């Protein structure tokens, strides 16, 4: 059995990763269960797991010690986030389960959170460790393997049509590191395009006077990708954003700042240096002027990139070895 262990109160990159991971394991006929440290009312991941028939539980409902004590060497615990990872490492004294942890955070943190992250990094000698980007991997003091994010892809590439007016989207938390302020600035400069924001967060007030469509938080982008032609990533820091992979798999063209693992995902033509983010406007105007055929070719090219390198099928062999499922 593979247990995906997390403490999660909202929905973001980690939760999307866990959802995709659970679906991958299901498709490979591997028994999987998501284990939440605590229950948070209305959490969107719960309904997503229910819809996919993925079992899940809450350790607050039982005994944490009892849960870990009954595991055996045939069980895998894959922890995500600092709290779950630290706790799982401490519980290894209770049973000989195989422990894997993933480092997701690409941004710098401060205060109490920085202390937790320091302890997370320096307790990593007690687990097999993965990172979703090379930058995150290089920050770890102990051995850590690169295991990029992935997304489920259909058997055939989607053939979509571009909207008459280019539809440009932002997907994610409205925060400083995701740079929603930059997105709001760019939409002021490009009145010939329509801009959409899917997300919520502490900087939502920056959208008050911006000429865009704010859809708020959505638990899944699946019903909305068809509304977009371009996903614009304006971030100051990233790992490997799940939103980029999902967008490309759904035929949405991605343009981004050169942060995290974006250079391994996108051709340099569709990246700008992080400090030169205003040049993202030039990239959007280039796509707009070249017309539908140009956009369609780019959509197909990016879909193929994801299918070949970041699909669940492409990533399964590495993950099955990490989980030691072939032994």
Place of tokens 């866990």: 18
In whole angstroms, what is the distance from residue 280 CA to residue 257 CA? 8
Token pair for 279: 């040049």
- Higher pLDDT, residue 112 or 142: 142
How would you label 283-303 residue by residue, b for 16+ Cβ within 10 Å and e otherwise? bbeebbeeeeeebbebbeebb
Average pLDDT of the segment spanning 163-178: 96
> Does the pLDDT of residue 295 top 90, yes or no?
yes
In whole angstroms, what is the distance from residue 133 CA to residue 111 CA? 24
- Higher pLDDT, residue 104 or 291: 291
> Does the pLDDT of residue 85 top 90, yes or no?
yes
Q: How confident is the model at residue 206 (pLDDT cuts 50, 70, 90)?
A: very high
Helix axes 13-27, 312-322, angle to 10 degrees: 90
> Does the pLDDT of residue 293 top 90, yes or no?
yes
Give Cα separations from 227 to 108, 197, 224, 250, 297 (angstroms).
33, 11, 6, 11, 18
Q: The domain 2-152+311-322 is classified under which CATH number: 3.40.190.10, 3.40.50.2000, 2.60.40.10, 3.30.450.80?
A: 3.40.50.2000
Decide if 212 contacts 151 (C-beta within 8 A): no
Task: For the chain, give the percent of residues with pLDDT over 70.
Answer: 97
Q: Which residues contact 198 (CB under 8 A, 6 or more apart)?
A: 169, 170, 171, 172, 215, 216, 217, 218, 221, 224
Give the per-residue pLDDT at 117.
86
Query: What backbone torsions phi and psi does residue 269 show, to the nearest 5 degrees?
Result: -60, -25
- Higher pLDDT, residue 99 or 240: 99
The H-or-E segment that residue 196 falls in is strand 194-198
CATH class of residue range 167-309: alpha beta
Give the per-residue pLDDT at 130.
95
Mean pLDDT is lowest, of 142-156, 191-205, 250-264, 291-305, for 142-156
Give the per-residue pLDDT at 327.
47
> Does the pLDDT of residue 247 top 60, yes or no?
yes
Token pair for 191: 């009145």
Give Cα separations from 153 to 263, 304, 318 (angstroms).
21, 10, 18
What are the sequence ranges of the domains in the chain?
2-152+311-322, 167-309
Decide if 152 contacts 24 (C-beta within 8 A): yes
> Does the pLDDT of residue 326 top 70, yes or no?
no
> Does the pLDDT of residue 184 top 90, yes or no?
yes
Q: Environment class of residue 191 by beta-carbon count within 10 Å: exposed (0-12), middle (13-18) or buried (19+)?
A: exposed
In whole angstroms, what is the distance from residue 26 CA to residue 4 CA? 13
Q: Give the bridge partners for 232, in sequence order.
A: 255
Within 10 angstroms of residue 193's Cβ, the number of other Cβ atoms is: 21
Average pLDDT of the segment spanning 25-30: 93
In whole angstroms, what is the distance from residue 236 CA to residue 182 CA? 10
One fold for 2-152+311-322 and 167-309: yes
Mean pLDDT is lowest, of 66-70, 220-224, 237-241, 272-276, for 237-241
In whole angstroms, what is the distance from residue 245 CA to residue 310 CA? 7
> Does the pLDDT of residue 254 top 50, yes or no?
yes
Q: How confident is the model at residue 324 (pLDDT cuts 50, 70, 90)?
A: confident
Q: How confident is the model at residue 54 (pLDDT cuts 50, 70, 90)?
A: very high
Average pLDDT, the chain: 92
Q: What is the pLDDT of residues 98-135, one digit of tens each?
A: 999 999 876 666 677 888 889 999 999 999 999 988 88
> Does the pLDDT of residue 142 top 90, yes or no?
yes
- Higher pLDDT, residue 138 or 60: 138
């Amino acid at each position: 059995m593979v247990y995906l262990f997390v403490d999660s109160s909202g929905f973001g990159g980690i939760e999307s990763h866990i959802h995709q991971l659970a679906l991958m394991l299901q498709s490979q006929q591997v028994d999987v269960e998501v284990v939440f440290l605590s229950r948070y009312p209305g959490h969107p991941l719960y309904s997503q797991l229910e819809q996919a028939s993925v079992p899940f539980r809450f350790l607050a409902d039982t005994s944490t010690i009892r849960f870990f004590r009954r595991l055996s060497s045939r069980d895998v615990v894959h922890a995500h986030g600092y709290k779950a990872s630290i706790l799982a490492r401490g519980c290894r004294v209770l049973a000989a389960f195989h422990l894997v942890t993933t480092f997701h955070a690409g941004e710098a943190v401060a205060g109490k959170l920085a202390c937790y992250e320091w302890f997370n990094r320096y307790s990593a000698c007690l687990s097999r460790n993965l990172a979703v980007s090379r930058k995150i991997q290089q920050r770890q003091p102990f051995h850590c393997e690169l295991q990029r994010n992935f997304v489920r892809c259909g058997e055939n590439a989607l053939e979509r049509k571009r909207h008459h007016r280019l539809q440009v989207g932002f997907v994610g938390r409205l925060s400083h590191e995701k740079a929603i302020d930059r997105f709001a600035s760019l939409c002021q400069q490009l009145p010939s395009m329509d801009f959409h924001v899917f997300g919520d967060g502490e900087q939502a007030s920056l959208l008050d006077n911006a000429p865009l469509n704010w859809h708020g938080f959505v638990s899944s982008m699946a019903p909305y990708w068809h509304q977009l032609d371009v996903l614009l990533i304006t971030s100051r820091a990233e790992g490997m954003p799940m939103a980029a992979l999902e967008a490309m798999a759904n035929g949405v063209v991605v343009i981004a700042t050169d942060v995290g693992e974006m250079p391994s995902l996108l051709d340099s033509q569709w990246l700008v240096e992080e400090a030169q983010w205003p040049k993202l406007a030039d990239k959007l105007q280039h796509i707009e002027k070249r017309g539908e055929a140009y956009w369609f070719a780019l959509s197909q090219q990016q879909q193929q990139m994801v299918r070949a390198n970041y699909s669940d099928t492409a990533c399964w062999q590495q993950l099955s070895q990490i989980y030691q499922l072939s032994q």
